[in-house]
Amino acid sequence: MGLSQSYIAAKFGIAERDLERYLAEALGSGGDYADLFFEHLATTSFSLDESIVKGATQGVSMGVGIRVISGERTGYAYSDDLSPERILRAARVAACIASGPSKIQTTGLREAAIRNLYPVVVAPTETELGGRVELVKRADDAARAYDARIFHVQVVYADNLRHTLVATSDGTLSHDRQPLTRISVSALAREGGGPPQRGSSGGGGRVGLEFFDNHSTPEFFAREAARQAVLLLDAVPAPAGEMTVVLGPGWPGILVHEAVGHGLEADFNRKGVSAFSGRIGEQVAGPLCTIVDDGTIAHRRGSLNVDDEGTPTEKNVLIEKGVLRGYLQDRLSSRLMRSPATGSGRRESYQSIPIPRMTNTYLMAGESDPEEILRSVSKGVYCKSFGGGQVDITSGNFVFSASESYLIEGGRLGPPLRDVTLVGNGPEALKWISMVGNDLQLDLGVGICGKEGQSVPVGVGIPTVKIDRMTVGGAA
């Protein structure tokens, strides 16, 4: 226990015997399971607007969340005061959902084997602020230099270093050190008296500042944002109606995340409110579709050594060649559905209860050449990047806006389009996938997913994909 004990003492000022005492208190009124989630979070963020750093924040938060599970009921309490009295009080509050003497006997805690998917020696939060400010200034300069029609640039930088400790009543003790950093650039272009057009780009991950020294430089993201904004100045109104849609590789995987991924989270399925409920083993997509959620990819924004319940993350095949194989399980859902936990229990902070969430979700590569896919379309729309979107979990219906798209005519890319929206149904859209490219890409590292008021970092990905039928909204 040497490493864990020193880690616990250094970050949270508690001993192993304290953890066992708190777990016993949480189960003092009964209950089937209890866990403790300690978090120490250091954050930095600042924004540059009009070439001036106008807002900056730094902070540190620390606390513990205590959960007790009794059947289908969950009791949860948290404290930002780590004194024994306050933690014991939170444990008793969480225990209020249970009744009767505890049948669970806590045992000595065992340190779980830990891997290191993001071996960052020096996290950005631990560096001098001046070096990070220089990154946003470089991005601002590059975006403004791209084209004279760029008239406004905003750059946002954010990083954090999160230490977690999870102790469970079944005897598991796990901890993690999770760095995270991101730069986002937004640029506005205008020509004459026309309306302004916006472009955006950014990236990051569980990385150090050296990440921004290679191809993922601030200048790269800035020029990409400026390129999109300038491109839209010459965009034509989008067509409307049912047509063939081709999704480009990378960030368009957000459509899979939203329209399909959320519907595969176990809490929706054990409640029977997902379009995929009760369908394991059924053909729910075309045979070219294999969808994976993988929290084990090194340095990725959505990756974790262990989830926020202390369970190691996994590479989970959710849909295999069109057949539904399983759901994303947290501990509660896995107990109730009698399925193994998949390392998918995530929470925004110690103040939040863990729920099933995605990590890095993507559609596996196929065998088609991307150029061949494009040539196969006589008329349609090519979507290279997406903005926002909405999905109804129960029905699977979605609406997405494309931030960069092109008309396809005669197998070639035509003019850029503006005001493109995609309207459809997640399960139905999967059935109409007729070609899948061999060019799988993951996004550059800016994804944030919201669910039940909680936001967590995620990743998405997709190869070039041809969908034979989808409703495109645009000009009539």
d(CA 70, CA 208): 42
Residue 321 pLDDT more than 90? yes
Distances (CA, A) of 89 to 9, 60, 65, 92, 351: 21, 23, 12, 5, 15
Strand partners, 36: 66, 167
Q: Residue 12 has what pLDDT?
A: 86
Q: What are phi and psi of 342, to 5 degrees?
A: -110, 10
Give residue-wise pLDDT tens across range 410-444.
Answer: 999 999 999 999 999 998 999 999 999 999 999 99
Q: Are 207 and 161 in contact (CB under 8 A)?
A: no
The tokens of 95 are what? 């225990």
Task: Determine the average pLDDT of the residues in 455-469.
Answer: 98
Q: Are 247 and 408 in contact (CB under 8 A)?
A: no
Q: Residue 1 has what pLDDT?
A: 40
Give residue-wise pLDDT tens across range 169-183.
Answer: 999 999 999 999 999
Q: Are 360 and 442 in contact (CB under 8 A)?
A: yes
Task: Determine the average pLDDT of the residues in 127-153.
Answer: 96
pTM flag (> 0.85): yes
d(CA 77, CA 349): 12
Q: Is the dihedral of CA 318, 320, 322, 325 positive or negative?
A: negative
Residue 364 pLDDT more than 90? yes
Averaged pLDDT score across all residues of the chain: 94
Residue 228 pLDDT more than 50? yes
Helix, strand or coil for residue 243? strand
DSSP state at residue 207: -
**Which residue has better confidence, 16 or 276?**
276
Q: Of 356, 387, 395, 383, nearest to 260 (Cα)?
A: 395
Q: Are 391 and 398 in contact (CB under 8 A)?
A: yes
Could you tell me what percent of the chain has a pLDDT over 90? 87
Q: Residue 13 has what pLDDT?
A: 85
Q: Residue 8 has what pLDDT?
A: 72
Q: Could you tell me the pLDDT band of residue 5, with boundaries at 50, 70 and 90?
A: low
d(CA 123, CA 225): 26
Q: Residue 24 has what pLDDT?
A: 95
Residue 474 pLDDT more than 70? no
Task: Determine the average pLDDT of the residues in 196-217.
Answer: 94
Q: Residue 11 has what pLDDT?
A: 80
CB atoms within 10 A of CB 395: 13
Q: Residue 108 has what pLDDT?
A: 75
**Which residue has better confidence, 300 or 396?**
300
Q: Of 472, 349, 323, nearest to 65 (Cα)?
A: 349
Task: Determine the average pLDDT of the residues in 220-235.
Answer: 97
Q: Are 244 and 468 in contact (CB under 8 A)?
A: yes
Residue 102 pLDDT more than 70? no
Any idea what the Cα angle at residue 210 is, between residues 206 and 216, rounded to 5°?
A: 80
The percent helix, strand, coil of the chain (3-state, each to 5) is 25, 40, 35
Task: Determine the average pLDDT of the residues in 327-355.
Answer: 97
Task: Determine the average pLDDT of the residues in 339-356.
Answer: 98
Residue 200 pLDDT more than 90? yes
d(CA 234, CA 221): 21
Q: For residue 3, what is the enclosing H or E element? A: helix 2-12
Q: Are 352 and 309 in contact (CB under 8 A)?
A: no
Q: Residue 388 has what pLDDT?
A: 76
Q: Residue 476 has what pLDDT?
A: 43
Q: Could you tell me the pLDDT band of residue 2, with boundaries at 50, 70 and 90?
A: very low
